[in-house]
A and B are shown apart, each in its own frame.
Chain A
Amino acid sequence: MAVTPGPLDAAAVAAAVAGSHDGAVATFLGLVRDRNAGRRVLWLDYEAYAPLAVKAFEHIAAEAAVKWPDACVGIHHRTGRVEIGEASVAIAATSPHRAEAFAACRYAIERVKQIAPIWKHEHFEGGDVWIEGATADPADEQARALAFERACT
């Protein structure tokens, strides 16, 4: 688990969680897009409460391990200025079989967006805006169920 100002490497995240019993690794990279809500995006600034974010990532991995006992999840997130096309988040999920790896990886990104204490400041042509999503509550069962549903459909 990591919160870092440096570039992300999905292969490094995967290598950190993979074991000899694993037959599948699913990786997800979230990239900064050049358009959002009709605006031309120039770059994003990510701000994090780093120690709590790392704990949130560990919490998410523990949740995934309950649902998919053979899966192992690693999460790295960028902070600071991230340019168009660069990755802001890298997730790897490993498992003996592909179905669990894909599901755990999808579950992890859904949960990151729900409970990781990280904020995105969008700089676009003509201004800037804080993007606000979910009120973070790790104990919210409804949010957790939604993430699980998305992971399995």
Chain B
Amino acid sequence: MHVTIRLFARLREIAGASELRRTLPDGGTARDAWDALVAEFPAMEAHTGSISVAVNEEYAKFTKVLGEGDEVAFLPPVSGGSGIGTSDRELE
């Protein structure tokens, strides 16, 4: 099946693209898509423990089974709003 992979911030820089189209085996999960990405771009590996995933513009679990044409987004730790990093760090 074909999926569209969306990448942001640091991950986008590693891949050199914000959007990739890749083929995965049928029945593949979001985790499988990430593993394929890490195989292609080894520098992604370091981010495995800290990313979130969204499928078709909804937050999802890595166990989510993908379908033909799905959009899978991998999201580094977020830093919206103002001030630095997390609100936890802001209190330090």
Residue numbers of A with Cβ under 8 A of B are: 30-33, 36-37, 46-49, 51-53, 55, 77, 88-89, 109-110, 112-121, 130-139, 146-147, 150
Name A30's contact: one of B8, B76, B82, B85 (CB within 8 Å). Answer: B82
Closest 6 CB pairs of A and B: A30-B82, A118-B80, A119-B9, A133-B86, A133-B85, A132-B77
B47-84 vs A, Cβ < 8 Å mask (1 yes, 0 no): 00011101001110000000000000101111111111
Contacting residues, chain B, for A147 (C-beta < 8 A): 87
Question: Is chain A's binding surface mostly helix, strand, loop or mixed?
Answer: mixed
Q: Say whether A49 contacts B77, CB under 8 Å.
A: no
- The chain B residue with its CB closest to the CB of A116 is B80
Q: How far is the CA of A117 from the CA of B58 in the complex (A)?
A: 11
8 Å CB contact of B84 from A36, A51, A139, A150: A36
B residues near A (Cβ < 8 Å) are 6, 8-10, 12, 50-52, 54, 57-59, 73, 75-89
Interchain residue pairs with CB less than 8 A apart (20): A48-B80, A49-B75, A52-B59, A53-B80, A89-B81, A89-B82, A113-B78, A113-B87, A115-B78, A116-B78, A117-B8, A118-B80, A120-B79, A120-B80, A130-B76, A132-B78, A133-B85, A134-B88, A136-B75, A137-B52
Q: Are B6 and A113 in contact (CB under 8 A)?
A: no
Tell me if B57 and A112 are in contact (CB < 8 A).
no
